[in-house]
Amino acid sequence: MAILSEDRIQLKANATSKEDAIKQCGALLVATGCVEPGYVDGMLAREETMSTYLGNGVAIPHGQFDNRAQIHNTGISVLQLAEGVEWEDGEKAYLIIGIAAQKDEHVSVLANLAEAIEDEDITEELISTSQKSVILEHLGKESEED
């Protein structure tokens, strides 16, 4: 199973709060068989203890260690918010990337995400694109191959 697929990408979505955004991201993971519904509760609980906002309009909600048993397949989901949602005081998130990783696979997942979003031009492209293929190109990499 690919780390990201078109059915786990929602473009031009709307969220009323960061909790709503996390639930929507989690729902994409649930609907595609990556996680059990209880994993979404873990994503919400993680956010209460530690912000998953990275900066540049990007947040990466994910579950807690205790939720690993609820993960069936490693995967990410992407929720692109046209209007953004306040994640921290004065900080809006426009690209919400839900992460579900078995074992230590999250390390490579996070490395790929960090590489893609550290470039502000790429981040802006991901936030504004109307094509799922652009999201897949930048965030769907399994591993770097030269």
Cα separation of 47 and 100, whole Å?
14
Residue type, 2: A
Q: Catalytic annotation on 106?
A: no
Given 62, 72, 106, 138, which residue is catalytic?
62
Give the N- to C-terminal CA distance of the chain in Å, as an integer. Answer: 22
Cα separation of 66 and 95, whole Å?
25
Three-state SS for 90?
Answer: coil
Give catalytic residue positions: 62
